[in-house]
């Protein structure tokens, strides 16, 4: 059954209501098919497409959601400026084996009177959570809704948003949600910049400066390998980023993968994570060490 749509010829159907979504997913699952979900906020790039490909490889059916979630933005300007390219996204997905795009209106996710928040304590107090109050509550709430609305069997998230991935994993475990969460490696431009929808907001000049983020993480990783301690290396990395043209560094930190606790040296499975501002755009990145 999978692949019944002629890839490259027609756009996947765009579903706007949870009823239409459930009808499609229910039909596929009743036929014994495994349904994969790729949640996105649109402005699709190669990073998203790598998630789609991972879903295609292990699922019979693939649903991509496009929903710019107002609950996870900290400022109205950021929400307003977030790139919205649904037409182009649908064209892009026509070249994949995607069975449906779920692009609901805000009222389908947050109907009038909506007053429930999913909040994952601890993991969300640090890193991006500390700098973007309420952001992960917004993410956890919308992802729970996307899981319960689609009832997908598997869901695919990028490791670029490493903290988000850990928050979603914990939420799924704590709430016994019946979906398998899979993390996929960060996709990078040839020069190393992590792919992100926000890169579209960078001028050519800022785009060149943005490289300093990945470079700082790599230099810090080298410093750790040479026996250095994370706090001192982070201070030097922060100074280099500011000198390169970043206006503010929210954090650059060595953290344990499982609970995101601070580490001085990578004694257990660890990641270097950073978030910084450049020309009014907040960029994040992380690498394994």
Shortest spacing between CB 85 and ligand PAF, in angstroms: 14
Q: 139 or 193: whose CB is closer to ligand PAF?
A: 139
Tokens of 208: 């060149």
Strands (E), 10-158: 14-15, 35-40, 61-66, 100-102, 154-158
CB under 6 A: which stretch of 38-46, 94-102, 148-156, 257-265 binds ligand PAF?
A: 38-46
Q: How far is the CB of 169 from ligand PAF (least distance, A)?
A: 13
Residue 286 is a binding residue for ligand PAF (CB under 6 A): no
Which tokens go with 288? 């394994």
The residue with tokens 């756009």 is: 11
Work out how close the CB of 40 gets to ligand PAF at its nearest, in angstroms, rounded to a whole number. 5
Nearest to 104 by CA among 29, 200, 183, 22: 22
Binding mask 117-156 for ligand PAF (x = CB under 6 A): ----------------------x--xx-------------
Residue closer to ligand PAF by CB (options 12, 42) is: 42
Instruction: Tell me how far the alpha carbon of residue 111 is from its chain's centroid.
Output: 24
Contact region with ligand PAF (CB under 6 A), list: 23-31, 34-42, 224-232, 243-251: 34-42
Residues with catalytic annotation?
A: 48
- Interatomic CA distance for residues 271 and 289, integer angstroms: 6
The residues near 178 (Cβ < 8 Å, ≥ 6 apart) are none
Please report whether residue 161 would count as binding ligand PAF according to CB under 6 A: yes
Part in contact with ligand PAF (CB under 6 A); list of ranges 39-47, 111-119, 210-218, 222-230: 39-47
C-beta of 38 vs 230, nearer to ligand PAF: 38
**Strand pairing category for 270-278 and 154-158:** unpaired
Site residues for ligand PAF, 44-83, by CB under 6 A, read: 69, 72
> Is 103 a binder of ligand PAF (CB under 6 A)?
no
179 makes contact with ligand PAF (CB under 6 A) = no
- For the annotated binding site, the residues are 41-48, 72, 158-161, 164, 195-198
CA 209, 189, 39: angle at the middle one, nearest 5? 110
CB 20 within 8 A of CB 63: no
Nearest 10 degrees: Cα torsion 93, 155, 270, 194: 10
- Quote the Cα angle for 145-135-172, to 5°: 40
Structural element, H or E, at residue 215? helix 204-225
Are the beta carbons of 272 and 240 closer than 8 angstroms? Answer: no
CA distance 269 to 191: 26
Residue from 21, 40, 44, 120 that binds ligand PAF (CB under 6 A)? 40
Q: Which residue in the set 15, 21, 24, 41 belongs to the binding site for ligand PAF (CB under 6 A)?
A: 41
In the complex, least distance from residue 243 CB atom to ligand PAF, rounded to whole angstroms? 30
Q: Which is nearer to ligand PAF, 44 or 224 (CB)?
A: 44
Known binding positions for beta-alanine: 72
Q: Which residues in this chain contact ligand PAF in the complex, by CB under 6 A?
A: 39-41, 69, 72, 139, 142-143, 161, 164
């Amino acid at each position: 059954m999978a692949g019944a749509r002629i890839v490259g010829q027609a756009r996947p159907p765009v579903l706007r209501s949870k009823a239409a979504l459930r009808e499609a997913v229910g039909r596929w699952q009743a036929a014994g098919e495994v349904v994969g979900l790729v949640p996105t906020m649109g402005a699709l790039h190669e990073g998203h497409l790598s998630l789609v490909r991972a879903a295609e490889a292990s699922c019979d059916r693939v649903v991509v959601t496009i929903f710019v979630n107002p609950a996870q933005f900290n400022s109205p300007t950021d929400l307003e400026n977030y790139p919205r390219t649904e037409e182009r996204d649908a064209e892009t997905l026509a070249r994949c084996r995607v069975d449906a795009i779920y692009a609901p209106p805000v009222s389908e996710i947050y109907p009038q009177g909506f007053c429930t928040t999913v909040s994952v304590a601890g993991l969300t107090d640090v890193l991006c959570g500390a700098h973007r109050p309420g952001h992960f509550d917004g993410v956890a709430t919308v992802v729970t809704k996307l899981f319960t609305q689609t009832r997908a069997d598997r869901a695919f998230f990028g490791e670029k948003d490493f903290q988000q991935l850990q928050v979603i994993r914990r939420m799924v475990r704590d709430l016994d949600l019946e979906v398998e969460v899979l993390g996929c490696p960060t996709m990078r431009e040839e020069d190393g910049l992590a792919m992100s929808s926000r890169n579209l907001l960078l001028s050519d000049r800022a785009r060149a400066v943005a490289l300093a983020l990945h470079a700082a993480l790599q230099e810090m990783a080298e410093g750790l390998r040479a026996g250095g301690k994370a706090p001192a290396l982070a201070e030097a990395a922060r100074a280099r980023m500011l000198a390169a043209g970043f206006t503010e560094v929210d954090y650059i930190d060595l953290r344990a993968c499982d609970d995101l606790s601070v580490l001085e040296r990578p004694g257990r499975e660890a990641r270097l994570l950073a978030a910084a501002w450049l020309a009014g755009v907040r960029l994040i990145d992380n690498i394994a060490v």
